[in-house]
Amino acid sequence: MEYFLQQLINGLTLGSIYGLIAIGYTMVFGIIGMVNFAHGDVFMLSTFIALIILMVLTQVIGITPLALALFIVLIAAMLLTSLWAWAIERLAYRPLRGSFRLAPLISAIGMSIFLSNLVQVTQGPRYKPAPTIASEVITLFQGADYSVTVSQKQILIVAVTAVLLAGFWYLVQFTAIGRAQRACEQDRKMAALLGVNVNATISLTFVLGAALAAVAGLMFMIYYGVVHFNDGFVPGVKAFTAAVLGGIGSLPGAVLGGLLIGLIETLWSAYFSIDYKDVATFSILAITLVFLPSGLLGKPEVEKV
């Protein structure tokens, strides 16, 4: 029982990271109906941005309060990653928005390859270690053979995910920005006729998704302690899977899907062969979509006539 509870905590932590990335997928798909396959590499880029800024603050400038350094890193990483996402949307996606449906998809894949190779060339192919942060462990329960523990970084990751989900849900549901996004999601032409700046709203959606990816990138760096130029592919695919499982277009669904993917992956690795954890994840996704084609919290798409 203690072992199961420990893996449950680990799965929720990993799932929180997937959920943060999945929100970016679901926001972009909801507003323009396109899967941004470069989003995983935007997340990877944010891990390197966070690492570089953290090393500059702590090793060059000499900021000793770690909490202050992490706060500065978080803000700076969100701003710089959002700037990258804005440039990607403006240069690679917007000119192709009115083209045939495969054109933006090909552009997204090309941008993903570009970002991955850019980081590989500029930062090298080796793993980059990060400073040990918030590694203190709290013992929740001491069993006869196994103890249940939670680290400070696990608490931080889950708490940040919960706060950001609540904040972005409020943003979408109760603010002018959210109303503009929902209007563009339903009908971009009608939204434009009613005075909504569609281009600015779509750019802002990319920016917000990238800001969340930057938060996930910082949490990923803190949790694993290393970053690599290829870190965008596997977490990106799993985050996209989480968005589909939860119901792409639904913010709570994206986080729920992320948590489920994290739990499935962790529990399978704990009790069965780790070699088949991805098989288990995608098999459960396929089974779910057979019975719930729109995902767990997604709404059926209504065809406009």
Q: Is the pLDDT of residue 305 over 70?
A: no
Predicted TM-score (pTM) of this structure: 0.90
User: At residue 224, does pLDDT exceed 80?
Assistant: yes
Q: List pLDDT tens digits, range 7-63.
A: 999 999 999 999 989 988 888 887 877 788 889 999 999 999 999 999 999 888 888
Return d(Cα 132, Cα 269) in angstroms, integer. 25
Q: Could you tell me the pLDDT band of residue 114, with boundaries at 50, 70 and 90?
A: very high
% of the chain at pLDDT higher than 70: 98
Burial 77-92 (b: 16+ CB within 10 A, else e): bbebbbebbeebbeeb
Could you tell me the residue range of the domain that residue 202 belongs to? Answer: 13-130+143-232
The two tokens of residue 111 are 């941008």
pLDDT digits (tens, 9 = 90+) for 71-81: 899 999 999 99
55 within domain boundaries: yes
The whole-angstrom separation of Cα 121 and Cα 196 is 41
Range among 59-63, 91-95, 196-200, 291-295 rated most confident: 196-200
What value does the mean pLDDT take over residues 239-260? 88
DSSP symbol at 69: H
Residue 268 included in any domain: no
In a domain? residue 92: yes
Convert the pLDDT of each residue in 134-162 to its tens digit: 778 888 877 777 788 888 889 988 998 88
Number of domains in the chain: 1
DSSP state of 302: P
Does residue 138 fall inside a structural domain? no
Whether residue 97 lies inside any domain: the answer is yes
In a domain, 176, yes or no: yes
- Residue 248 DSSP label: T
Taking a C-beta distance cutoff of 8 angstroms, is the pair 247, 22 a contact?
no
Question: Is residue 275 assigned to a domain?
Answer: no
Burial environment of residue 97 by CB neighbours within 10 A (0 to 12, 13 to 18, 19 or more): middle
Written as six digits, the tokens of 99 are 């083209």
Residue 301 has pLDDT above 70, yes or no: no
Q: Would you say residue 303 lies in a domain?
A: no
In Å, how far from its chain's centre is CA 264? 18
